[in-house]
Structure 1
Amino acid sequence: MYKGLAIIFGFLFLGELIESLGIPVPGSVLGMLLLTIALITGIIEIRDVEKEAEFLVKNMSIMFIPPGVGIILYLDLLKENIVAIVTALIFSFLITLWATGKVVEVLRR
């Protein structure tokens, strides 16, 4: 278990390190991308991280509790900007839906 967690968190650390060099992509995304590349190329074997990754995915809901509680601190700010927030959510949803549909159309051809 320690080996798998060390690999996963090692790539997270590497992504954060690369982000600190000025790349405008979140370190967690960079780390995940690097881990994916390492898995595809065979540098890391899936069996080394599979159990730990499954555990983290199964317990992902626990990771959302702190941000959810933190939102309570900003209820006044959310109330002031509710129209802008809802508008942004609706437009981003529609754009994502449209883009997904276009990608599916291209891939089905």
Structure 2
Amino acid sequence: MKYLIQAFYILLFFALGEVVSELIGHFIPGSVVGMMLLFLALRLKLVKPEKVDRVSTLLTANMGLFFVPAGVGLMTQFGLIKEFWPAIIASMVLSTAIVLTVVGWSQDRIEKHQEKKKKRKEEQHD
């Protein structure tokens, strides 16, 4: 029963994300909006992590299965991939570089912020 309730929470945020995505003209996919809404709800403590932890762990552990249909779909479009492979490779390399740069920059800022917070806390205790 616990898995069913946890799956309900995840599917509820997925559905909310789909509604928001529809309202903004599908500019951002509903699944992504739903994930952001769930993150905000967890961060703002509107939803306790215990309400989604088991199902989210199960889904994350089996994530590879969700890529099988996409892989099969790619193989059915092999001719198209063969025609546009330079553009595909260039976009893959560029997007990977951008993601690595943004993640590295974000991590650096977070670490600096945490260090400042820790120093302030230590100074208050002295």
Unpaired segments ≥5 residues, structure 2? 113-126
Which one of the candidate residues 66, 71, 86 is aligned to 1:68?
71
Could you tell me which residue of structure 2 aligns to residue 14 of structure 1? Answer: 16
CA RMSD of aligned residues (A): 1.7
TM-score scaled by length of structure 1:
0.88
Match of 2:50 in 1: 47
AA aligned opposite 2:50:
R
Alignment-derived partner of residue 88 in structure 2:
85
The one-letter code of the counterpart of 1:86 is I
Cα pair distance change 1:53/1:101, threshold 3 Å: closer
**CA offset digits 1:30-62 (Å, max 9, x no partner):** 111111111122221111110010000001101
State which drifts further: 71-80 or 16-25. Answer: 16-25
Moved more, 34-43 or 78-87: 34-43
Q: Percent identity?
A: 31
AA aligned to 1:14 is L
User: 1:26 Cα shift?
Assistant: 1.3
Structure 1's unaligned 5+ residue stretches are none
Give the drift of 1:96. Answer: 2.8
Identify which range, 70-79 or 17-26, moves more after superposition.
17-26
Local SS of the residue matching 1:44: coil
Larger RCO (CA under 8 A, 6+ residues apart): 1
Q: What's the secondary structure of 1:20's corresponding residue?
A: helix
In the aligned structure 1, how far is the partner of 2:40 from the partner of 2:107? 24
Q: What is the TM-score of this pair, normalised by structure 2?
A: 0.77
